[in-house]
Amino acid sequence: MDKEYVGVNTRFLRREERLMASEEHEMPRVIEAKESKDLNFLYQFLAANSQKVIEDIANYGAVLLRGFDVTSDSDFENTVLKIQGLNGISEAFMSEEGRIHAGDLKYVLHTNAVYKTGGTLYLGGFHSENYYSADVPSFICFCCLQPSLLGGETGLINMEKIYAQLSEGLRNKLESNTFFVSKWLVSEVEKRYQIPRETIIEICNRFDLPVVGEGEEQLVLMYKPNIFEHPLTKKKSLQINLFEITGLNEEMRRCFMNDYPGKTWFWHRLVWRLPTFVLKILEYAYMIFASLFYSPKNAFKNLSAKINMLKATIKKNKDSSYNNVRVGSCFTKQDIKELAQLIRAYYSSCLWEKGDILLVDNKKVMHAGMPGAGSRLVRAMICNPLEMNYSLTQSGSIDCKERAGESIGFYMASSQIGQNIKV
């Protein structure tokens, strides 16, 4: 592999660089510093090899830049932007609480400023990035500025390989149509972006985001395809948030339990063995207190928004045009058990080192912050918004294409309409 690039080492992860072994041996592909570790060399290397790097991300699912002198958020942003063809997304439509920019940088994000997303007692939560937002990135990039003392890696799953092994009946159900994902009160969108309702509706119409109802109960609805066909590999992949599949996290914990042996992981295993309802209570309690601690004002705003949404939903459920069937309804108990086993089989564990940059193809790979302990600082950056179908009547499978213009969130934040919008 060394002959494909000049001035660096290329390889796959060694066993000691993984917390656990699996059947996934080629993700991520590692591009490692050889003679020069400085940023100028890295910038020149990426600019000169951009097309090949993007092809490697597509073919292997992820590329890991390791051993270079990346020490700050700005180093991370500058490095990613040196790859010609990767364009940062500055604003994702109605992004989750805590997904804020790092400092005054345009593209680098906290993985979550409210909740710790890796290196905790938690196991589960694999997802395709921005499943609950209308702005789905083609790529998500991570940078480790401080690895956990224990575990805390960003776990990866190549969903192309897993999707090929799902039953034909399940694949047919997943590809048959889009499923309900999210809804937002138009009034809450107004508050977030401080723009007139008419502007919001016009932008939604440009991107075929359904708007239903009137007045204070008016909603933006979002349905999504579940299956992405990759533009380069031409293979299909299941790209959702696995929280949608009730019972999957419990099955996954059973599959991963033996990978966390000994006294080191005693408390983790103890928590994972708790009854499901107890774990749910602990999760919700943590989220509530973390939100209150981060910003009491925002926490109460979010609570008010949820109450208003509940009221609007009760009214809208009487409307036959509002279909709230979710993708999790496709999976039987046996499907869930088999999926958990496949996730473990194709899981890629890459232990972080300081200065690592991980470039992930969000069209075929899911990720999650994995269990661990100790302080951990990982930043994120999303790139290249995908064209997406948001209405109920569309197919559940989509041929992935990158959007020519900016994200929907960008147009909302800048209040741009008319000819400025490129779909």
pLDDT for the residue 317: 56
Q: Is the pLDDT score of 285 beyond 90?
A: no
Question: What's the structural domain count of the chain?
Answer: 1
Kindly state the average pLDDT of the residues 182-191: 94
Residue in the block written with tokens 């509940």: 310
Residue 334 lies in a domain: no
Q: In CATH, what number is assigned to the domain containing residue 131? A: 3.60.130.10
Confidence of residue 315 (pLDDT cuts 50, 70, 90): low
How does pLDDT run across 293-312, given as a tens digit for each residue? 777 877 677 767 777 677 66
CA distance 95 to 416: 18
Residue 134 lies in a domain: yes
Burial class (CB in 10 A: 0-12, 13-18, 19+), 204: buried
CA distance 225 to 139: 18
Residue 98 lies in a domain: yes
Confidence of residue 419 (pLDDT cuts 50, 70, 90): very low
Higher pLDDT, residue 314 or 149: 149
How does pLDDT run across 18-60, given as a tens digit for each residue? 999 999 999 999 999 998 999 999 999 999 999 999 999 999 9
249-257 long-range contacts (CB < 8 A, ≥24 apart) are 249/123, 249/124, 249/125, 250/276, 251/336, 251/337, 251/339, 251/340, 252/123, 252/124, 252/340, 252/343, 252/344, 253/123, 253/124, 254/340, 255/340, 255/341, 255/343, 255/344, 256/123, 256/344, 256/347
How does pLDDT run across 323-356, given as a tens digit for each residue? 899 999 999 999 999 999 999 999 998 999 999 9
Residue 2 lies in a domain: no
Answer for the pair 115, 77: CB distance below 8 angstroms, yes or no.
Answer: no
pLDDT for the residue 229: 97
Q: How many Cα atoms occupy the beta-carbon half-sphere of 13 within 13 Å?
A: 26
Copy the structure tokens of residue 135.
């702005």
Confidence of residue 370 (pLDDT cuts 50, 70, 90): very high
pLDDT for the residue 422: 55
Q: Sheet containing 236-238: which strands, arranged edge to edge?
A: 236-238, 227-229, 397-399
pLDDT for the residue 17: 95
Domain holding 366, by residue range, is: 8-158+349-376
Cα–Cα–Cα angle for 246, 251, 252, rounded to 5 degrees: 105
Answer for the pair 396, 229: CB distance below 8 angstroms, yes or no.
Answer: no
Instruction: Please choose, from the candidates 97, 115, 130, the residue with its C-alpha nearest in 3D space to the C-alpha of residue 305.
Output: 97
Q: Which of 59-73, 219-233, 271-285 has the lowest mean pLDDT?
A: 271-285
Higher pLDDT, residue 116 or 171: 171
Kindly state the average pLDDT of the residues 6-20: 95
101-104 long-range contacts (CB < 8 A, ≥24 apart) are 102/73, 102/379, 103/73
pLDDT for the residue 2: 45
Q: Using the CB atoms, write b or e for 373-412: b if 16+ within 10 Å.
A: beebbbbbbbbbbbebbbebebebbbebebbeebbbbbbb
Residue 20 lies in a domain: yes
Inter-CA distances, 274 with 2, 263, 268, 303, 327, Å? 48, 18, 10, 28, 27
Query: How does the average pLDDT of the chain come out, rounded?
Result: 91
CA distance 276 to 1: 46
Residue 36 lies in a domain: yes
Residue 291 lies in a domain: no
Q: Is the pLDDT score of 401 beyond 70?
A: yes
Residue 81 lies in a domain: yes
Inter-CA distances, 281 with 191, 253, 266, 286, 288, Å? 30, 17, 21, 9, 11
Q: Is the pLDDT score of 176 beyond 50?
A: yes
How does pLDDT run across 217-275, given as a tens digit for each residue? 899 999 999 999 999 999 999 999 999 999 999 999 999 999 999 999 999 999 999 99
Answer for the pair 367, 126: CB distance below 8 angstroms, yes or no.
Answer: yes
How does pLDDT run across 140-173, given as a tens digit for each residue? 999 999 999 999 999 999 999 999 999 999 999 9
